[in-house]
Amino acid sequence: MTTAARRFEGSVAVVTGAGSGLGAAAAERLAVEGATVALLDRDLRAVAELADELPHATAHEVDVTDAVAVDTVIDTVAARHGRIDALVNNAGVVGPQVPVHETTDAIWSTVMRVNADGAFHVLRATLRTMVAGEGGAVVNMASSSGLSGKPNMAPYSFSKAGIVGLTRSAAIEYAARGVRVNAVAPTAVRTPLVERHIQNAPDPCAMERLVTSQTPIPGLPTPADVAGVVAFLLSAEAAWITGLTVPVDGGYHAT
């Protein structure tokens, strides 16, 4: 990994969904650049193993759909370190891939509770800490599926489009209070989440071909590719960027 500098030396960062994929890659990037990182995930074993590999990291078990649990863990991190400087609001699920007319209330509710409610719970709790301190920076995890329609993914697309709107609103509300709020919108990335999405599709082989050929830059980005953009948006180099959703999509939205 090539890094520009240790841009987060002395900073405290929170990463949700840090047990694997994009969350783990973002946590690793921030840690390499000097941050103390609180790793949050439903899978305590996964984040505990990652915490052991990083220089300054702690592992915390939390279900982001539980607002009280989120408030508790964010308060715990803030009390332990004195502040929170950065948030990667990443925890999310895709859900089953079915047409709208076959989407059950249970499917819709499960995706909304994690991707919409969960992201809101984490953002709200962290903003309370940031505005009470010296501000900070947030990156919410949106998706290219929230910027354009994708078949058989209505709940996911709806939730990720909501992340874009939440990002814009929060950016405006908190700009004068020293908090920047941006989002990244990756195309499919070779993560366990995307692997499950491919395997759960009605035709996994067709889905594999689709996700690797849908962008002008062929193939799939790596989690580290996305983590580099996340780190930039959280850094002081992006001090005048807020309210932006950055596609990490190989040119998909340029077509």
Catalytic positions, written as ranges: 156
Instruction: Indicate the residue type of 152.
Output: N
Question: Quick count: other Cβ atoms within 10 Å of Cβ 206?
Answer: 11
Return the closest-CA partner of residue 188 out of 218, 155, 221, 150.
221
Question: Quick count: other Cβ atoms within 10 Å of Cβ 254?
Answer: 9
Contact 189, 212 (CB under 8 A): no
What does the alpha-carbon distance between residue 137 and residue 191 come to, in Å, rounded to a whole number? 25
Contact 48, 60 (CB under 8 A): no
What does the alpha-carbon distance between residue 100 and residue 116 come to, in Å, rounded to a whole number? 18
Place of tokens 């301190």: 133
Contacts of 234 (CB under 8 A, 6+ apart): 8, 13, 30, 86, 88, 137, 139
Question: Quick count: other Cβ atoms within 10 Å of Cβ 215?
Answer: 20
What does the alpha-carbon distance between residue 173 and residue 248 come to, in Å, rounded to a whole number? 25
Question: Quick count: other Cβ atoms within 10 Å of Cβ 40?
Answer: 32
